[in-house]
């Protein structure tokens, strides 16, 4: 769609990196308009997993994950709306960090679901991620959803949990222990919990009762935003007709927004979103957990053919289960390369999720797990 499009201005995140002395190597392959979880819906063809080229790299920002995993670059950017940086980071064995919503400017980013879109970072270490985050985060006059106040000092200090992590409460959501996880990804999940325990943390079960609705809620809200965001790509200005995924979402969004459907779909999804965000808030504010530990995906990267055989809805349901919740709640979340899958010994990441705007605290905890 945008093959011959040259942007007339530079995105804030890019400008800030240029100003800080960053050198850009190129743009990376991805799912069209960041819709997808496999980087397979691209005019350039699918992105391949660097550890096993029969498998997907994850997505939608898969090309950036591969550029970092193959050491072609020190770090890369992607956009994480429902998991698109955490998911490929997990499959490719790199760090993928989605900051809190509103901490990084979206100016210059093509909108998908405006209220969950966050420019996010791939790198090989948490310390590199921190460096990039310090450069790109902060208020921007060109994005009214960025915070005016300087980035707050973390409310929680890891120091208070030193020398190891005594008293740091790590929550394991009961609802995330899906039967499918038992087959594919339980060992790395358990191992990570054990490692945290050995570091002195208090690992305990928590409940996020509305998380089972997160996918459906995201799908409705995303399609509604897509219906208006994509209206400009009507085939007249840019002359290209888009693929099934994008078209399907535009149609679905317009259907959800019809006067007769609006309250059953859009309004309902907006209410469910609040319940999902409240679940997280309750866990953090009641002191049940300081940080939540979760898988990123159900298991290792699927093979390309198997993944492409799934329809878009199933793909989303399987791939986004563990990541959309933090997106809908606007929370900072990081995928860390922690384990190897049981089946093929491919990388699988684990996710840490922290309270809103506790990004620096999250990075501190993540660093201890490296």
29 contributes a contact to ligand GLN by CB under 6 A: no
Which 3 state secondary structure label does DSSP give 78? strand
Which residue has tokens 């995928």? 335
Q: Which two tokens stand for residue 308?
A: 């492409």
Scanning 33-41, 101-109, 142-150, 171-179 for contacts with ligand GLN by CB under 6 A, the matching segment is: 33-41
Which long-range CB contacts under 8 A does 129-132 form with residues at least 24 apart? 129/75, 129/95, 129/97, 129/334, 129/363, 130/363, 132/17, 132/75
Among 172, 222, 272, 291, binds ligand GLN (CB under 6 A): 222
What does the alpha-carbon distance between residue 123 and residue 273 come to, in Å, rounded to a whole number?
Answer: 30
Q: Among residues 83 and 325, whose Cβ is nearest to ligand GLN?
A: 83
Minimum distance, C-beta of residue 61 to ligand GLN, in the bound complex (Å): 7
Q: Among residues 79 and 146, whose Cβ is nearest to ligand GLN?
A: 79
358 contributes a contact to ligand GLN by CB under 6 A: no
Backbone angles phi, psi at 267, to 5 degrees: -65, -40
Active site residue 335: no
Scanning 73-81, 180-188, 290-298, 334-342 for contacts with ligand GLN by CB under 6 A, the matching segment is: 73-81
Q: Among residues 82 and 188, whose Cβ is nearest to ligand GLN?
A: 82
CB contact set of 255 (below 8 Å; sequence gap of 6+): 261, 265
Q: How many helices (H) and strands (E) does the chain have?
A: 13, 8
42 contributes a contact to ligand GLN by CB under 6 A: no
Scanning 32-40, 48-56, 279-287, 341-349 for contacts with ligand GLN by CB under 6 A, the matching segment is: 32-40
What does the alpha-carbon distance between residue 215 and residue 113 come to, in Å, rounded to a whole number?
Answer: 13
225 contributes a contact to ligand GLN by CB under 6 A: no
80 contributes a contact to ligand GLN by CB under 6 A: yes
Scanning 2-10, 30-38, 232-240, 256-264 for contacts with ligand GLN by CB under 6 A, the matching segment is: 30-38
Among 11, 47, 109, 112, binds ligand GLN (CB under 6 A): 112
HEC string of 258-323?
Answer: CCCCCHHHHHHHHHHHHHHHHHHHHHHHCCCCCEEEEECCCCCCCEHHHHHHCCHHHHHHHHCCCC
What does the alpha-carbon distance between residue 110 and residue 105 come to, in Å, rounded to a whole number?
Answer: 12
**Cα angle value 157/188/177 (rounded, 5°):** 90
Minimum distance, C-beta of residue 149 to ligand GLN, in the bound complex (Å): 27
x-marked contacts with ligand GLN along 287-316 as a string, rule CB under 6 A: -----------------------------x
Active site residue 60: yes
220 contributes a contact to ligand GLN by CB under 6 A: no
Conformational region of residue 235, where left means phi above 0, alpha means psi within -120 to 50, and beta covers everything else: left
Q: Among residues 35 and 196, whose Cβ is nearest to ligand GLN?
A: 35
Q: Which of residues 170-209 bind ligand GLN (CB under 6 A)?
A: none
41 contributes a contact to ligand GLN by CB under 6 A: no
**Cα angle value 6/36/245 (rounded, 5°):** 80
Cα→Cα distances 319→74, 105, 191, 291, 354, Å:
26, 26, 21, 22, 21
x-marked contacts with ligand GLN along 139-158 as a string, rule CB under 6 A: --------------------
Minimum distance, C-beta of residue 331 to ligand GLN, in the bound complex (Å): 14
Question: Which spans of this chain sit near ligand GLN (rule: CB under 6 A)?
Answer: 34-37, 60, 79-84, 112, 222, 316, 320
Active site residues: 60, 84
């Amino acid at each position: 769609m945008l093959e011959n499009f040259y942007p007339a201005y530079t995105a804030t995140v890019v400008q800030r990196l240029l100003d800080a002395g960053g050198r850009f190597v190129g743009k990376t392959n991805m799912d069209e308009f960041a819709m997808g979880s496999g980087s397979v819906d691209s005019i350039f063809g699918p992105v391949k997993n660097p550890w096993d080229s029969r498998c997907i790299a994850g997505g939608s920002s898969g090309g950036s994950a591969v550029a970092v995993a193959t050491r072609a670059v020190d770090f890369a950017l992607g956009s994480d709306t429902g998991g698109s940086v955490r998911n490929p980071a997990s499959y490719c064995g790199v760090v993928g960090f989605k900051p809190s919503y509103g901490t990084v400017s979206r100016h210059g980013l093509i909108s998908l679901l405006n209220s969950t879109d966050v420019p996010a970072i791939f790198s090989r270490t948490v310390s590199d991620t921190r460096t990039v985050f310090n450069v790109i985060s902060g208020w921007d006059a060109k994005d009214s959803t960025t915070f005016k106040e300087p980035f707050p000092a973390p409310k929680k200090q890891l120091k208070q949990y030193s020398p190891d992590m005594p008293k740091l409460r790590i929550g394991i959501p009961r609802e995330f222990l899906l039967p499918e996880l038992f087959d594919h990804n339980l060992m790395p999940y358990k191992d990570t919990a054990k490692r945290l325990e050995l570091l002195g943390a208090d690992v305990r079960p928590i409940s996020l009762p509305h998380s089972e609705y997160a996918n459906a809620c995201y799908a409705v809200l995303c399609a509604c935003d897509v219906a208006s965001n994509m209206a400009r790509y009507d085939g007249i200005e840019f002359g290209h007709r888009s693929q099934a995924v994008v078209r399907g979402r535009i149609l679905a969004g317009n259907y959800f927004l019809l006067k007769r459907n609006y309250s059953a779909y859009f309004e309902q999804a907006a209410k469910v979103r609040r319940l999902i965000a409240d679940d997280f808030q309750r866990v953090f504010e009641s002191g049940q957990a300081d940080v939540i530990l979760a898988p990123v995906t159900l298991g290792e990267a699927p093979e390309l053919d198997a993944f492409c055989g799934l329809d878009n809805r199933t793909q989303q349901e399987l791939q986004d289960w563990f990541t959309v919740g933090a997106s809908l709640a606007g929370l900072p979340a990081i995928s860390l390369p922690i384990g190897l899958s049981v089946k093929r010994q491919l990388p699988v990441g684990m996710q840490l999720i922290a309270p809103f705007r506790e990004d620096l605290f999250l990075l501190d905890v993540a660093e201890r797990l490296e």
